[in-house]
A = this chain, B = another copy of it.
Amino acid sequence: MRLIFTNRKRMALKQISSNKCFGGLQKVFEHDSVELNCKMKFAIYLPPKSETGKCPALYWLSGGCNIKGEDESWDFGTGAGFYVDATEDRWKTNYRMYSYVTEELPQLINANFPVDPQRMSIFGHSMGGHGALICALKNPGKYKSVSAFAPICNPVLCPWGKKAFSGYLGTDQSKWKAYDATHLVKSYPGSQLDILIDQGKDDQFLSDGQLLPDNFIAACTEKKIPVVFRLQEGYDHSYYFIATFITDHIRHHAKYLNA
């Protein structure tokens, strides 16, 4: 009885929309999140192949800074909260996006869709790029590959990160490092992880010191973790930047997901 109840809960997905697209279906669902204590929406693309067999899953984490032209595939809303599990009283009941993204959502996806649970990868943009990096670095072996567009690489040292982390995690900065990609690289056990990062050279947040990719690259170099970092001349932080290079990222993930 308990098991059935659990399964019933997992199955409680409400379809919001379904549109045929490139031969498959682009769908949006709503569900009650246990981790976040609120209704959440996510989008999923089911390719034609999924009609006849299980497919790998590639998770996309969007940014949350109201970037012009941003088109969110996973609509986590503006309160995405840096993809951490908050510990401060005011936030800790609802702001548990790290657990949602790494545990609750994959369980939900695996239980409801024709997905191979052994083959998952993750990528994202800006704050979502930071999220993708920490999800992969905190869970060696869980994701086959990781990539990011203009990720926040060293949040403990940038204004956005300091504000978010002090709000969600409190003033004890030693706790912050558990969600900082550059610090996580330093203690990464070294199992296979191929990282691809694209960064626009004319991104205003790069020159503002919000993204700090150099610190991340230096840490990867020291730990001999393979990372391809491409500084793209003339590109900014926008949707247009993502659109231009997302095919390369999907190919990067397909190499590992279809291996």
CB within 8 Å of B: which residues of A? 17, 19-23, 26, 68-69, 200, 202, 234-236, 238, 240-241, 243-244
Contact = CB atoms under 8 A, between A and B. Distances in A.
* Best-buried of A20, A241, A243 by chain B (most CB within 10 Å): A20
Contacts of A20: 200, 202, 234-236, 240-241, 244
Contact of A240 (B19, B200, B244): B19
Given A19-B69, A20-B235, 15 more contacts: A19-B238, A19-B240, A19-B241, A20-B200, A20-B202, A20-B234, A20-B236, A20-B240, A20-B241, A20-B244, A21-B240, A21-B241, A21-B243, A22-B243, A23-B244
A20 B237 CA distance: 10
A26 B238 CA distance: 11
A38 to B, nearest CB: 24
Contact of A22 (B21, B200, B236, B244): B244
A238 B22 CA distance: 13
A240 B244 CA distance: 18
B21 A244 contact: yes
21 contacts: A17-B68, A19-B69, A19-B236, A19-B238, A19-B240, A19-B241, A20-B200, A20-B202, A20-B234, A20-B235, A20-B236, A20-B240, A20-B244, A21-B240, A21-B241, A21-B243, A21-B244, A22-B243, A22-B244, A23-B244, A26-B240
A158 to B, nearest CB: 23
A90 B147 CA distance: 55
